[in-house]
Amino acid sequence: MNNYEVDSVPGDNDRDPAGSESASPAAGPSFADLGIDDRILRAIADVGYESPSPIQSATIPPLLEGADVVGLAQTGTGKTAAFAIPILMGLQAVGKEPRALVLAPTRELAIQVAEAFGRYAAHMPGLHVLPIYGGQSYGVQLSGLRRGAHVVVGTPGRVIDHLEKGTLDLSQLQYLVLDEADEMLKMGFQEDVERILAETPTDKQVALFSATMPSAIRKISKQYLHDPVEITVKAKTQTNTNITQRWVQVSHQRKLDALTRVLEVESFEAMIIFVRTKQGTEELAEKLRARGFSAAAINGDIAQNQRERTIGQLKSGALDILVATDVAARGLDVDRISHVVNYDIPHDTESYVHRIGRTGRAGRSGQALLFVAPRERHLLKAIERATRHPLEEMQLPSVEDVNAQRVAKFGDAITENLSSSNLPLFRKLIEDYEREHNIPLVDIAAALAVGSYDGDNFFMEPEPEPERRERVPRERPARRFDEERPAASHHRGTGTELATYRISVGKRHRVVPGAIVGAIANEGGLRRSDFGHISIRPDHSLVELPAQLPAETLEALRRTRISGVLIQLQLDQGPPSHRSFSRGPRRDRDAGKRPERRKPRS
């Protein structure tokens, strides 16, 4: 095995301010230098990537040469492009059978990887990508497989289901990728992964990516990969200690409202707001200007002279807010930038470090704020792991905070204008108006304030309260151990009715609550909040889940495996009468002998 180590160290001199390749001799290779197809180069440029990350530079060449690869790298280092680009270049997009299979531990990652393949294949008509994962209708996936999918991205459990149904044919597979392999093993998918590997052609090319290299991953590598090239990305991603990093959870549709509140309450000198797309910069800058903020956009489509003029306005104070893409902000160095807002969370931790590096310059303190949608919490965790710096959660300013700030700013404006040299002129005009119309001075002042305020309402209105479902009170009567357990309870804080389900894995299978939650949530399309109490017994476990699970979800969960064992999920019937709930499985008391063991289901 050939071993290579590369450093993942972000810097500011890798690309010039305009977003083109730097002429510096220290600059790394470009994507074109790696021998990438023109169609994919165009797609990479459309996405906004300028030069490959360390793992991409190290991984793409051996994959293009046909070697198996083991990549040790954290989430957020750009590894999806590292395997997707060479796969797309070597793929024979003919027929309907899959030519590439990517296994991912969670449905979220499977969707993310499939979307990335779609972006990189934007100029490759006729190539089809299909994600398959638990929680989605089989009908959608079966239709996609019948039409033909050249790249399939799936979770192990759902891939096994399709193999058993005969709806997934891997006989023509050229490439197999195990993404975040250590996470798959933690979730109990080792047997599934090995079974899938065993059912694929022996001459396929394999890439395995993992954050760590436990013995089980090493075993898979030795057994199923042929003389792999091992590439280790040494994480050295760090952030400045003089930057205060915070995050706030906000849904996509609430982002503009959340940003407006921050801008009104936070005291800032100048700010950069990062969004993911060129179109997004223009749209957000326009919406901010409509709300009275001094904002402008820069992106890769803006001419260099306009870019220089905009940055000059930011430096001089004529402009306070810059809305930018990663590409357009490279090399930007403006001392007065006190705040950086990640309006769209970056999928690459190095991009996060580059972004917040725009503040806290020259020994000054800086503020970095990250907007995180509920489904993006895994990206937040990846950033915290990579930077080794936990971000502080903040609460959005309330309506009362915003209104108090508006009143304070109104008073400050009056105080400032009292020292104006034009005050005597306007005082005389108002005195003349008072004598002519017999209107009190205070009313005249209020009318002038109304005329100078551009908006419908001076005060922010509180949002209407969402309709709340009537909560069913949760009764917790005293109960002796010899009583039957109730069939259902209610989830704390949500009122959702829960029922107790039995699964056929327990302590002897070395399962932990995290593996149970991960597998059931992934394959059943459930959320972490859908789980109640989990009790792990010697040979089975009891799990509280929503009582009214759809039939399709129940079927998917019965076929789910944890630690390689079918969990055979079913409603628990409770312990026999007059026996302790804690004594485990019931025994055959009629014959006074052990009951006949059930044969395990295959």
Residue whose token pair is 């922010």: 460
Which pLDDT value is given to residue 201?
93
pLDDT surpassing 50 at residue 188:
yes
**Mean pLDDT across 82-93:** 91
Which pLDDT value is given to residue 16?
31
Per-residue pLDDT reduced to its tens digit, 196-229: 998 899 999 999 998 888 888 888 899 999 999 9
Which pLDDT value is given to residue 520?
86
Which pLDDT value is given to residue 514?
79
More confident residue, 472 or 90: 90
**Mean pLDDT across 75-103:** 88
More confident residue, 239 or 522: 522
Which pLDDT value is given to residue 485?
41
Q: pLDDT exceeding 70 applies to what percent of the chain?
A: 81
Which pLDDT value is given to residue 329?
77
Q: Please, what are the domains in the chain?
A: 2-235 (3.40.50.300), 243-398 (3.40.50.300), 400-452 (no CATH), 488-583 (3.30.70.330)
Which pLDDT value is given to residue 463?
59
**Mean pLDDT across 328-350:** 83
Residue 185: which of 136, 230, 220 has the closest Cα?
220
What is the average pLDDT score of the chain? 80
Q: Which amino acid is at 98?
A: P
**Mean pLDDT across 24-51:** 79
**Mean pLDDT across 331-341:** 85
pLDDT surpassing 90 at residue 368:
yes
Q: Are strands 69-72 and 229-235 parallel, antiparallel or unpaired?
A: parallel
Q: What is the DSSP letter of 601?
A: P
Q: What is the DSSP letter of 21?
A: B
Q: Residue 162 — very low, low, confident or very high, per pLDDT cuts 50/70/90?
A: very high
Residue 102's SS3 state is strand
The answer to whether 168 touches 159, Cβ cutoff 8 Å, is: yes
Q: List all residues 6 or more positions away from 130 whose beta carbon is below 8 Å from its beta carbon.
A: 114, 141, 144, 145, 149, 151, 152, 153
Per-residue pLDDT reduced to its tens digit, 479-537: 333 333 444 455 544 556 888 999 998 888 888 887 888 888 877 777 777 888 888 88
The answer to whether 82 touches 56, Cβ cutoff 8 Å, is: yes
**Mean pLDDT across 273-278:** 90
Ranking 120-124, 231-235, 366-370, 538-542 by mean pLDDT, the lowest is 231-235
Angle subtended at Cα 189 by Cα 517 and Cα 54, rounded to the nearest 5 degrees: 100
**Mean pLDDT across 164-185:** 91
CB atoms within 10 A of CB 192: 24
Ranking 50-64, 163-177, 266-280, 294-308 by mean pLDDT, the lowest is 294-308
Round to whole Å and give the CA distance between 418 and 444: 16
**Mean pLDDT across 256-267:** 90
Round to whole Å and give the CA distance between 308 and 6: 35
**How distant is the alpha carbon of residue 140 from its chain centre?**
24
**Mean pLDDT across 242-271:** 90
The answer to whether 78 touches 55, Cβ cutoff 8 Å, is: yes
Q: Residue 455 — very low, low, confident or very high, per pLDDT cuts 50/70/90?
A: low
pLDDT surpassing 50 at residue 13:
no
Write the DSSP string, 562-591.
ETTEE---EE---PPTTS-GGG-S----SS
More confident residue, 34 or 553: 34
Q: List all residues 6 or more positions away from 361 whose beta carbon is below 8 Å from its beta carbon.
A: 333, 334, 335, 337
**CA dihedral defined by 237, 389, 12, 336, rounded to 10 degrees?**
180
The answer to whether 409 touches 263, Cβ cutoff 8 Å, is: no
Q: pLDDT exceeding 90 applies to what percent of the chain?
A: 32
Ranking 1-10, 131-140, 308-317, 436-445 by mean pLDDT, the lowest is 1-10
pLDDT surpassing 90 at residue 45:
no
Which pLDDT value is given to residue 2?
62
Ranking 135-139, 437-441, 597-601 by mean pLDDT, the lowest is 597-601
Ranking 119-123, 235-239, 563-567, 571-575 by mean pLDDT, the lowest is 235-239
Which pLDDT value is given to residue 330?
66
The answer to whether 99 touches 115, Cβ cutoff 8 Å, is: no
Write the DSSP string, 165-233.
HT----TT--EEEETTHHHHHHTT-HHHHHHHHHTS-TT-EEEEEESS--HHHHHHHHHHSSSPEEEEE
Q: Angle, to 10 degrees, between the axis of helix 551-558 and the axis of helix 513-524?
A: 130
Ranking 19-23, 161-165, 182-186 by mean pLDDT, the lowest is 19-23
End-to-end C-alpha distance for the chain, whole angstroms: 37
Per-residue pLDDT reduced to its tens digit, 433-444: 888 888 888 888
Which pLDDT value is given to residue 173?
94
More confident residue, 363 or 264: 264
